[in-house]
A and B are shown apart, each in its own frame.
Chain A
Amino acid sequence: MNKSGHKGRTIRKDLVGLLLLATILPSILITTLFAGNVKKIIDTDVRAYQEVIIDQTRNSLENIFTSVNIIHRSVIGKIVPNYLPLEFEERLKKEEVIALKDLLSFLHTIAQAYTYINGIYLIYDSDYIISSRLSIRTNVLLDKSWVIISRASDGEEYIIGPHFAEYNVGLPQEEYDTVISSIQKFYMPGNSNNEILIQVDINLSVFQDFIESMDYNEQIPMYIYNSRMESSLLKNDIFNSMNEKQITASEQIKREIKPDHLYLHALPRKDHILEKFRSAILGMILIISIISFFIFLTALLLSRRITSPLHDLYTYMKQVGQGDFSPIYPRTNYLELGYLIERFRKMVSDIDNLIETVVSKEKETTEARLQALQAKINPHFLYNTLDVIRSIALEHDNMDINEMTLSLSRLFRYNVGNLEDTTTLKNEIEYIYDYLKIQNYRFGDRITVKFSIEEEANKVQITRFVLQPIIENSFKHGLELRGKGGLLKISAGIVEDTLEIRIFDNGPGIKPQKLLRIQDSLIIDAQKNKVKNTHGLNNVNLRLKLLYGNEYGIYLTSEYLKWTEVRVTIPFNPELQNV
């Protein structure tokens, strides 16, 4: 556990968790709801739908058999008023021929009208058969068992299961129609000896929708039970494919097609629907899983674009915390993150510069102290030596050597002081006097020195050794080159809150290009430069900027072959000066 008690939690981990939750939870919920609804649908709606299908099937079957009964009744209605006692022995009378032709046309018209009727046969006692078909094989039909049964019956209707109607063509053929027959015996009114069997053949194709496993009945095995024949009349394909065990185990729904005769038995199945829905559910789960996975993946990728830079930033922060200031900053397209990283980079850069500045200063201080220490060892010998020289000069009344030695001695003492110590401008000017005295012995009256120091300026605290290197430069690069008539002007004054010191010489000046270079070198950022050289204008400029800020330092102006002026600015705060 770390100090903040985060237990290793990261935004990335939390985000991944959140994404997982946002994808998996809805997936589970949707799947559960779907599966629940499917179960509900199967239990209630599908069962109701199955019953509707069973009822519709029963109705369509009833319609077929009802129309067959209508045909039976229509034919009877046609026969009764013009009954033809057909016999083979006698030639038909005119009325009978017309009636027979009329009856044949009637049968033919009915068969044409009901497209699913294959043939209508009127089987007379005399073995005459009048048919809607043009030619038939009478003997074949007469030999059929149902004809024999019907003739012996009390007039019940018999429905005969699918069979070849090999009697409906005049001669044996390679192909026969498959039909279901409805046969019933009728008596002519008033004469029970005149019996006619009416057989109506229905093309099996009309039952094709029932037999074939269509989408809707695939789930409902069905068969038509013929109670009069005590057998099933027709089974649909799905029922045929079931074994005895499956049939026994199934719940049966029974519907009456013809009273006391034909029944529709249906075995509505759940397993088939379940199987269908199972694949639907599995498909659904698969689709949801794939969608969830890709949503998760996409969200993860997008979130990584946010969390990765954040995490990198976090890592780099740790690096910076451990002192490594050279991290490779993460890249991001996000404006907000980009700004955060940029500010952090700036902050680290600033800290790095500050640290370097501090280190540089420390180093300078250390070096100065060493120099000072070194100077403290040697100057004592020099002071003593200079004092001896001055005593000898006094003994011999050589005042020049005396004063020169004195000035030199004071110069040394000033030099031994700490660079970072401050002093008043007055002290710095006095130090310059001593320096100029010595220079005066070198140049004599070739150079005139003028001071113009405001009284208030004298009191201003400044760092030491600011003016001497500048004045030394004026001699070295200006006045020494001029010969006679050299002028050195040193002036100081307060301008608003700044002490301005100007050192002017009328030496040969600086060439414009060189002047620009020097001016450029003086416009520096003190934080970014290390103080390596402690001599010259640059050194003084750098020291001033480090001590007082970048807005202070040295400013050089010159007119080639005429003059050069160095302006030194130092902050001035009267209150602080008083303290």
Chain B
Amino acid sequence: MAKRLICLFFLILLGSFTFANGGSEQEQLSEKKIPTIRFAYSWAYGFTGLLEQYKDRVKDHIRIEQEPNVGLQHKENILIDVASNNLPDIFTFWSYETNLGDFVKNDHIIDIQEYFDASKLIDRNNFYESSLKATEINGVNYAIPHERFFGFFVVNKEIFKSLNLPYPKTWEDIKKISPILLENDIIPISMGSFKGDPGHLFFSALTYQSPNGYDETLEMKNSNNFIYPGTINATKAVLDLIKCNAIPNNTIYSGSWDHQINEYNNRRTAMIYTFSWNLALFRPEIADNSLIIPVPRINKDVRDVTGFTVGGIALSICINKKSWNDSDKQNEIIQIVDWLLSEEVFITRLNQQGTFPTLKMDIPEFKNSMYYKVEEYIKTVEIFGIHEFYFNSLNAFNQFKEANDLLWSGVFSKHDFLNFVQEGININNE
């Protein structure tokens, strides 16, 4: 009896101390260790809401630490992370060897076949083979392509109609209509370049008008030569646009995708050369009044401009090799990447921005007519990869972007531009 009472006493004593100390510490002790996965992405606006919902769904076994960034700021942050040995577990990054090469050289990211082998939901056969090419280096895929993009030249029909102007078919046409548009406080083509955007992509489109322009670019990777007839013609074409004031005076200020679409949506510009990742930004009424036309011919010797456009794979999903090899994280990484490659995410990204899925899947109906217009357009053209994909290094590409800033702003002459880009390639080649 006495023994029972003593046991009871100690039990109650223990209970009392537990009561006095509160239950939180006990809860903390019994709390299961949940792995934290850092995920950095450049889809700051729109995607974050979806990610929050997913985080909530998996919060019992994965803690996702998200790092949203906007556009090129994401690229800079990731490069800082690499330099400081603080690479996120999963991150989006620009595709092709130009962008992924350094990660591969330094063994930062995994051969994505390892992920395909481990995943029970996703297989490489789910993707377009052409998309997978964008992340292939020496026959190995180092990232999972996530978004296809295409460039298109679009005009505001209403503006042209109101001013009784024809849609330009040649550079000469642009030179003719530009003064009229400017007189009406309308910028002919809202094109700028800050940190290369969107100028360098338009430059590629202009380069490929030359009969051998695309082949020369493909050759650039091996020849390390930038200066070809195609690039020379494209440079000249840019300088012609500046000369006839077809583009804004301050191309640095105008150098962003949002600025470009904003000008177009507000009828302050008649034409833009833009990309599918901006589709969602078109106002529906403006989209209805828009027409995709071939990029005007820069000279009479160009190839058929109705038969091609530029495009490729924008962002891909990369998996940090160090994190992948951490047995405490691998399952969670697979689970998150599975989700990033789910139709839910692809459809959201398509609707929220306009990037087309790399996954073979049914595309839902669009609310914005611009989607249909682009979808129809790309069925009729061949897609050529932009210069970005074929530089021998990220530094050379960055120098190409810097050169575009100076070219489009009117600072560089043809000679300056071509030599500046070539120097970038040469430095890396040395």
Contact = CB atoms under 8 A, between A and B. Distances in A.
A283 B252 contact: no
Contact of A301 (B2, B194, B405): B2
Contacts of A101: 194, 252, 405
Contacts of A175: 45-46, 48-49
A132 to B, nearest CB: 9
Given A101-B405, A287-B17, A170 B12 contact: no
Given A135-B259, A283-B19, A92 B249 contact: yes
B42 to A, nearest CB: 11
> Looking at A128, A130, A134, A287, which has the most chain B CB atoms within 10 Å of its CB?
A134
Interface string A105-144: 0001000100000000000000010100111110000000
Interface residues of A, number: 40
A97 B45 contact: no
Contacts of A283: 19-20
B9 A298 contact: yes
Contacts of A90: 249
Nearest to B265: A171
A388 interface: no
Interface string A159-185: 000000000011101110000000000
B411 A94 contact: yes
A108 B75 CA distance: 13
B46 A89 contact: no
B194 A104 contact: yes
B248 to A, nearest CB: 8
Main secondary structure of the interface of B (DSSP, over half): helix
Interface string A74-109: 000000000000101111111001101100100010
Interface string B158-196: 000000000000000000000000000000000000110
B261 A86 contact: no
B13 A97 contact: no
A171 B262 contact: yes
Contacts of A130: 253
Contacts of B259: 135, 170
A91 B249 contact: yes
A173 B45 contact: yes
B252 A104 contact: yes
Contact of B257 (A92, A108, A135, A280): A135
> Looking at A86, A101, A135, A283, which has the most chain B CB atoms within 10 Å of its CB?
A135
Contacts of A100: 250, 252-253
Contacts of B72: 134
Contacts of A137: 258, 262
B410 A291 contact: no
Contact of B6 (A108, A134, A280, A298): A298
B104 interface: no
Interface string B34-75: 000000000001101100000000000000000000111100
Interface string A281-307: 001101100110010011001100000
Contacts of B2: 298, 301-302
B281 A134 contact: no
A298 B8 CA distance: 11
B293 interface: no
B258 A169 contact: yes
B16 A287 contact: yes
> Looking at A90, A171, A287, A294, which has the most chain B CB atoms within 10 Å of its CB?
A171
B421 interface: no
B194 A170 contact: no
A290 B45 CA distance: 58
Given A92-B252, A134-B71, A286 B16 contact: yes
B45 A169 contact: yes
Interface residues of B, number: 43
B242 interface: yes
B5 interface: yes
Nearest to B242: A91
Contacts of A128: 250, 253
Contacts of B252: 92, 97, 100-101, 104
Nearest to A88: B249
B409 interface: yes
B18 to A, nearest CB: 11
Nearest to A287: B16
B5 A301 contact: yes
B12 A134 contact: no
B76 interface: yes
B256 interface: yes
B406 interface: yes
Interface in B1-37: 2, 5-6, 8-9, 12-13, 16-17, 19-20
Contacts of B8: 294
Contacts of B77: 112
B366 to A, nearest CB: 18
Contacts of A171: 258, 261-262, 265, 281
Given A90-B249, A92-B409, A112 B194 contact: no
A86 B45 contact: no
Contacts of B12: 290, 294
A283 B409 CA distance: 75
A112 B250 CA distance: 25
Nearest to B262: A170
Nearest to B2: A301
Contacts of B17: 287
A301 B2 CA distance: 8
Interface of B: 2, 5-6, 8-9, 12-13, 16-17, 19-20, 45-46, 48-49, 70-73, 76-77, 80, 194-195, 197, 242, 249-250, 252-253, 256-259, 261-262, 265, 281, 405-406, 409-411
9 contacts: A86-B253, A91-B410, A112-B80, A134-B73, A134-B256, A169-B70, A169-B258, A170-B257, A298-B5
Given A91-B249, A134-B195, 14 more contacts: A94-B411, A100-B250, A100-B252, A101-B252, A128-B250, A133-B70, A134-B71, A134-B256, A170-B257, A171-B258, A283-B20, A286-B16, A287-B16, A294-B5
The 4 closest A-B pairs by CB, nearest first: A170-B258, A135-B256, A135-B258, A294-B9
Interface of A: 86, 88-94, 97-98, 100-101, 104, 108, 112, 128, 130, 133-137, 169-171, 173-175, 280, 283-284, 286-287, 290-291, 294, 297-298, 301-302
